[in-house]
Amino acid sequence: MSDTPLPALTQIPPDLRSLADYERRAPAHLTAEAWHHIEEGSGTGQTLRANREAFARRGFHPRAMADLCGGSTATDLFGRIHAAPLMLAPIAYQRLAHPDGELASVRAATALDTGTIVSTLSSVTLEDIAEAARAFARELGKPTAPLWFQLYLQPDREHSLALVRRAEAAGYEAIVLTIDAAIKLSGMTLPPGVGAANLAGMPLPRQTATPGGRILFGTPLADTAPRWEDLAWLREATVLPILVKGMVLGEDAVRAVDLGADALIVSNHGGRVLDGLPSVLDVIEEVAEATGGKVPLLADGGFRSGTDVVKALALGASSVLIGRPQMHALAVAGMPGVAHAIHLLRTELEAAMAQLGCPTPADIIRARLTHLY
């Protein structure tokens, strides 16, 4: 962590062998303010810690000598095959970590056949990101990987709709509606040259919430926060699959499915919004039971290794999103760094599945898990 950060490496040094290694190195490649912004949890960090501790509490009951022939991590979501149950989570302002920002991440994901969810608050336009993904896939002679657009509802529906239409036109395959972060305290000042590229020309938010800032209730920020009727509206507005991100309660999950959500993302926003939310691993099962397999569940929050991914799949998730590690890898080594980080996770996941006796994601069932303490 420095005010004159090191430039990104152009080659991956041999001592980078896990996502934790990237996390250790990242502060040297980021300004102090960017590092703090990426890492922070809200409040006293209870949820941030809970996300990680929940993995540590769980262990495995492997099946011995399973037949691993024909093993594969391939995962079907909305009729599209993902190479593994892994995607890049929407992360705002990626140019905070590297000058190429989202272009580097999406190229890395394309090279590794991994899906990307592009944030409304991306620091490169959604059109340029989609074009970079297509051009890189052509260059590599492979099909494009899944590309989804994450929507933050704007105070005016006309602007939300404009974003959805732009995402459709640019070839995005699903809309991820994030519902848990409309009211989020943030003290971050963006450096020059980094901004919300998709929102150029739209009215700036009329107020942001800052610690110790203005009172919230009665202001436009609170008055225009997403409501259930907005989900119903979005369902009418697009034929693309809709995922609702930020679900932590079975009851709400059922309501979202009733209103037409095609999938849910169980998430506490990486412990960045309401401090005191339970870990994601501790709520997946409730959401899975409530929705009874009607829609796929994805999950994010604290996933850092292949065994972490397996634990979520055993509890009912179909796929997992990776948040902060993208920014760590991007800061340390740009596009090759993110590609390497995804590769590390995929190889760890395959090793964990093989050691558990689970040749496919469908074999990863609740009975493979146990409590360590």
* Catalytic residue list: 269
| Residue span binding ligand FNR (CB under 6 A) among the ranges 1-9, 102-110, 235-243, 267-275 | 267-275
Q: From residue 161 to residue 190, what is the string marking binding to ligand FNR with x (rule CB under 6 A)? A: -----------------x------------
Report if residue 269 touches ligand FNR, rule: CB under 6 A: yes
Report if residue 300 touches ligand FNR, rule: CB under 6 A: yes
Instruction: Look at residues 304, 288, 287 and name the one whose alpha carbon lies nearest to residue 348.
Output: 304
3-state secondary structure of 370: strand
Instruction: Look at residues 19, 26, 126 and name the one whose alpha carbon lies nearest to residue 332.
Output: 26
The Cα–Cα gap between 283 and 246 comes to: 12
Report if residue 311 touches ligand FNR, rule: CB under 6 A: no
Which two structure tokens, joined as six digits, stand for 287? 């959401």
The continuous run of DSSP H or E covering 299 comes out as strand 297-300
Contact pick of 22, 136, 148, 303 for ligand FNR (by CB under 6 A):
303
CB of 65 to ligand FNR, least distance (A): 34
Pick the closer one to ligand FNR by CB: 272 or 311. Answer: 272
Query: Residue 369: beta bridge partners?
Result: 60
The Cα–Cα gap between 109 and 321 comes to: 12
Q: Dump the DSSP string for 59-114.
A: EE-PPTT---TT----EEETTEEESSSEEEPP-S-GGGT-TTHHHHHHHHHHHTT-
CB 36 within 8 A of CB 351: no
The Cα–Cα gap between 318 and 77 comes to: 8
CB of 327 to ligand FNR, least distance (A): 6
Q: Tokens 């604290």 map to which residue?
A: 302
Contact pick of 47, 114, 119, 198 for ligand FNR (by CB under 6 A):
119
Torsion 122-123-126-129 (CA) sign: negative
Contact pick of 84, 89, 112, 199 for ligand FNR (by CB under 6 A):
89
CB of 247 to ligand FNR, least distance (A): 12
Backbone angles phi, psi at 292, to 5 degrees: 55, 35
CB of 73 to ligand FNR, least distance (A): 19
CB of 92 to ligand FNR, least distance (A): 4
| Residue span binding ligand FNR (CB under 6 A) among the ranges 3-11, 236-244, 316-324, 334-342 | 316-324
CB of 52 to ligand FNR, least distance (A): 8
Contact pick of 41, 90, 115, 316 for ligand FNR (by CB under 6 A):
90
Report if residue 334 touches ligand FNR, rule: CB under 6 A: no
Could you tell me the end-to-end alpha-carbon distance of the chain, in angstroms, rounded to an integer? 35
| Residue span binding ligand FNR (CB under 6 A) among the ranges 19-27, 83-91, 164-172, 306-314 | 83-91
Pick the closer one to ligand FNR by CB: 8 or 320. Answer: 320
Q: Dump the DSSP string for 148-168.
A: EEEEPPPSSHHHHHHHHHHHH
Q: From residue 226 to residue 255, what is the string marking binding to ligand FNR with x (rule CB under 6 A)? A: -------------------x----------
Contact pick of 270, 316, 359, 361 for ligand FNR (by CB under 6 A):
270
The Cα–Cα gap between 283 and 299 comes to: 10
Q: Which parts of this chain interact with ligand FNR (CB under 6 A)?
A: 38, 51, 89-92, 119, 121, 150, 178, 245, 267, 269-270, 272, 300-303, 322-324, 327
